[in-house]
Amino acid sequence: MATEDKNRATAAAILPLVGGAANVSSIAHCMTRLRLGLHDRSLVDDEALKAVPAVMGVVEDDTYQIVLGPGTVARVTPEFEQLVEEGRAAVPDPDEAAPSVSAEELAAQGAAMKAARKTKNATPFKLFLRRIANIFVPLIPALIGCGIIAGLNGLLVNLGWLTSVTPALAAMASGFMALIAVFVGYNTAKEFGGTPILGGAVAAIIVFPGVANIEAFGQKLSPGQGGVLGALGAAVLAVYVEKWCRRWVPEALDVLVTPTLTVLVSGLVTIFGLMYVAGEVSTAIGTFADWLLSNGGAGAGFVLGGLFLPLVMLGLHQALIPIHTTLIEQQGYTVLLPILAMAGAGQVGAAAAVYFRLPRNESIRRTIKSALPAGLLGVGEPLIYGVSLPLGRPFITACVGGAFGGGFIGLFNQLGDKVGSTAIGPSGWALFPLLDGNHGLGTTAAIYAGGLLVGYFAGFLATYFFGFSKDLLTEFNVSQEPAESTVAATGGPTTPDTPSKEPAGV
């Protein structure tokens, strides 16, 4: 089957299982998940979705998230969007049986469920972090592409190869980072309900070379001072100024006055306030990260690597995105990401231990075999939601594995061997092309590989010896046919009708 047909077939299989085109209110995707806004959650068939071959799992948060994996999700999403558009354009069949409830009752029911779900998840802090993620996540593909080109260019420069090409590669790798503040400003204004191009225009002031001629707080400004944090603050301010103008400026003058006042007011505040303040904050972040790993070393790495999986489960990892981006702006790489990536290594080791500890549970072993390659490449959702989290203890022992892997890399940072990543997003083996440090690519890659191995072995040993109680082994180490009981989201057996593809629910 052609790739296009395969992606369309996957989208076509998913659509009716989420209630059809009429039930889809929004469509988006991140690195691994198709994220859907749904009118009525009760119309979704979770178990049938998990049985779709391309689906690795499902997660419910503020949106309904279908885990498809990197690459696949970017190809399936356009096909899904097209099918939804076609479905909405289709004329309803007038001969269809009338629903058992009125349209108003159904809409009210769906709205009530949606409101209850949003109330549960929509704490102010989580909503703020979600907005931050919506600003930075769209930038990740460019960060990855430019980061890999930067790594390739560094390798060629060190080897003395293709000297006529390396300047061009350096321009490709650095161009985006030189203007990243503009993209952050654009996305910020869009996310906060302003005019995106005005947010980009105000943020562009930060990277304009002419600011070097301006003094603020008794100091000369430097182009780029404040970085992405300054751009974010400037764009948010621009949104509020723009909204004030829309409310008070007469319509006849709006097209002239509103954009002018927005850029003027927020631009002046940015130049004579935000750039300096955000620059100090950015410098403090870099200084603290260096101090933490230089002095805390193994201890800091142990804590960071061990806590990252719980942070992901709570959605709090999104707060780290602007910190990573700031470090990449300042130092060329983020020293935090390789440490946090060890959480995935612990997860892989824990899954391998589960595989050996449950030799009779064909269903769980099949899930592990299918999800392990993705886990090695840093896509942990299938192993988290399909294996370790539903079982309980293996999730904790996976965190232990991540802690030891993080401690290993943290120790080398303390000894002076920095290990960093030139972009955010990838993890596991997929992070190797993005590695950078202060002692050459070979040393950096060796330390990172050592951290992965420590994470694998620590996660395996912790899970093998401490991940199962006697009762848990008795309950799950049982022979079963594909249609027989599997692990449910609660950690207990489900009915015989549960599909065997996904032994643990989400």
Neighbour tally for 82: CB within 10 Å = 12
Is-catalytic flag, 30? yes
Residue 217, phi then psi, degrees to nearest 5: 55, 35
Give the span between the Cα atoms of 165 and 424, in whole angstroms.
Answer: 26
Token representation of residue 259: 């954009």
Six-digit token string for 328: 């990449």
User: How long is the chain?
Assistant: 506
- Among candidate residues 30, 146, 245, 399, the one labeled active-site is 30
Strands 435-437 and 33-38: unpaired
CB 436 within 8 A of CB 154: yes
- What are the contacts of 9-14 at 24+ separation with CB within 8 A? 10/52, 10/53, 10/54, 10/68, 10/72, 10/76, 10/79, 11/76, 11/79, 11/80, 11/82, 11/83, 12/79, 12/83, 13/52, 13/54, 14/49, 14/52, 14/55, 14/66, 14/76, 14/80
According to DSSP, residue 17 is labeled: G
Q: Residues with Cβ < 8 Å from 248, sequence gap 6 or more?
A: none
d(CA 113, CA 127): 19
State how far the Cα of 78 lies from the Cα of 92, in Å rounded to an integer: 24
Structure tokens belonging to residue 92: 């309803």
The three-point CA angle 71-75-15 to 5° equals: 120
Query: CA dihedral in degrees (401, 404, 409, 411; nearest 10)?
Result: 180
Catalytic residues: 30
